[in-house]
Amino acid sequence: MGMWGKRDDMVVHGQEPFNAEPPGAVLAGAAVTPVDAFYSRNHGPVPRLDPADWRLVVDGLVTRPLLLSLDDLRSRFDATEATVTLQCAGNRRADLTAVRAVTGETPWGPGALSTARFGGTRLADVLVHAGVAPEAAHIAFHAPDVSPSADPPQPYEVSVPRDRALAPDVLLAWTMNGAPLPTVHGAPLRVVVPGWIGARSVKWLTRVTARTTPSDGYFQATAYRLPPAGRDTEGVTLGPLPLNCAVLTPYDGAVLPRGPVEVTGYALAGEGRTVARVEVSTDGGRAWSRTALDEPDGPEAWQRWRTTLDLPAGDVHVLARAWDSSGTGMPESPASLWNPKGYVNNAWPRVRLRVR
Ligand code: MTE
């Protein structure tokens, strides 16, 4: 077994902080990702919090500040569970770095995304109990892990707008795939904000603060912003994720025998939308054929797809693209999406195969 109970064959991008993604074939293997294969994205050392002393503070613009133990959360609020796909803003960055260098960021493949059954309670129930003041427009999530990559180094803190925090799908989770949340995934308690960049799903949560403005922490105010092309440093704060898809098997660069080959991957729609279809092309995008798409395990979960292609000998590029329920497709080229931090790549994935 590898670090933090992960499989030995994880693609480890860094040990400290620990950043790892599952190989494509492993990710493709199950609708709910086993915990030992679930990707791990950290900005600093993983803190070990003793669940017995741990408390959650709910404060800021609330009428009734709260101090809650894990038992309080379990006994005073309704339990709920959902299958949720978490996706990092840097998922599929490698396709952008192939266009042009992205400095200081991990070149994630398509595995900075995984799906789990998260259990806990609704953040909204806790916030309603605390009584969020009308002027509180943002809800900040604070954790104790100090990131050396932040400028200056500081604990992890981000926020989401009030309406997102109060939606019934946002969880305070203490279980993952039916077992207690593992340390590396945020024990004893993490936030799960489905459909938004993984950065908002704060692990090792210790404080929830209602505020008038977004968090001024580094990971809200500086990182996870899409830098614009010009010198304007404002950038776009990332939140909801766009429609995306990826090819998981065969791997880019694989050498295969002639004949039928199964191509598999996943697709994930943006908030409030579903994936309508996924198509593949082997002629550079002139002709497309439809793939078989699984039903999602709930509105916040990915869908896996597969198709069998009869590939001729030679170099074959397989392209994929998804369409969502609003008829929106995906952009063709990673070059058209390249940005200095390499965020939110949802261009058509391409795998280059050599068929003999
Ligand atoms: N929460 C804390 N406290 N510290 C972190 O570094 N990383 C975020 C988010 N929550 C992070 C965090 C990012 S960028 C992602 S993509 C997800 O956690 C990854 O969750 P995972 O490691 O459980 O897969």
* Together in a domain, 221 and 310: no
| Whether 127 and 165 share a structural domain | yes
287 shares its domain with 219:
no
Mean pLDDT of 175-190: 98
Q: Please say whether the beta carbons of 19 and 107 come within 8 A.
A: no
Closest ligand 1 atom to residue 43 Cα is 6
Take atom 17 of ligand 1 and give the residue whose Cα is closest.
198
319 and 279 co-located in one domain: yes
Please check whether residues 168 and 32 belong to one and the same domain: yes
Number of structural domains, the chain? 2
Give the pLDDT confidence score for residue 271 in this predicted structure.
85
Residue 109's pLDDT band (boundaries 50, 70, 90)? very high
| Whether residues 25 and 118 fall in one domain | yes
Ligand 1 centroid, distance to 42 Cα (angstroms): 5
Task: Note whether 222 and 276 are same-domain residues.
Answer: no
**In the chain, which ranges are continuous DSSP H helix?**
24-28, 70-76, 94-97, 123-130, 162-166, 218-221
Whether pLDDT at 248 is above 80: yes
Beta bridge partners of 191: 172
Q: How far is the CA of 87 from the centre of ligand 1 (A)?
A: 10
Question: Could you tell me the residue range of the domain that residue 93 belongs to?
Answer: 3-237
| pLDDT tens digits, 195-246 | 999 999 999 999 999 999 999 999 999 999 987 655 556 788 999 999 999 9
* Most distant pair of Cα atoms in the chain: their distance: 69
Residue 287 Cα to ligand 1 middle (Å): 39
pLDDT score for 235: 84
CATH code, 328: 2.60.40.650
Q: Is the pTM of this model over 0.85?
A: yes
Q: What secondary structure does DSSP assign to 44-60, as a single string?
A: SPPP---TTT--EEEEE
Domain boundary pick from 197, 212, 237: 237
Q: What percent of the chain has pLDDT over 90?
A: 95
Mutational test site, ligand 1, from 41, 92, 177, max ligand atoms within 8 Å of CB = 41
- Average of per-residue pLDDT across 300-306: 98
Distance set, CA 179 to CA 34, 54, 238 (Å): 11, 19, 31
**Of 237, 265, 297, which residue is a domain's last?**
237
| One-character DSSP codes across 113-138 | EEEEEEEEEEHHHHHHHH-B-TT--E
For residue 139, the cross-strand partners are: 160, 210
Q: Are residues 207 and 325 in the same domain?
A: no
Nearest-atom index, ligand 1, CA of 40: 22
| pLDDT (mean) for 154-167 | 98
What CATH code is carried by the domain that includes residue 197? Answer: 3.90.420.10
| Same domain (yes/no): 117, 264 | no
User: What is the residue with the minimal CA distance to atom 12 of ligand 1?
Assistant: 202
Q: What per-residue confidence (pLDDT) applies to 289?
A: 98
The binding-site residues of ligand 1, defined as CB within 6 angstroms of any ligand atom, are 38-43, 86, 88, 143, 145, 156, 185, 198-199, 201-204
Q: What is the pLDDT of residues 92-107, one digit of tens each?
A: 999 999 999 999 999 9
Residue 185 Cα: closest atom of ligand 1: 23
Q: Is there a single domain that holds both residue 211 and residue 253?
A: no
User: Both 72 and 154 in a single domain?
Assistant: yes
Q: Are residues 164 and 297 in the same domain?
A: no
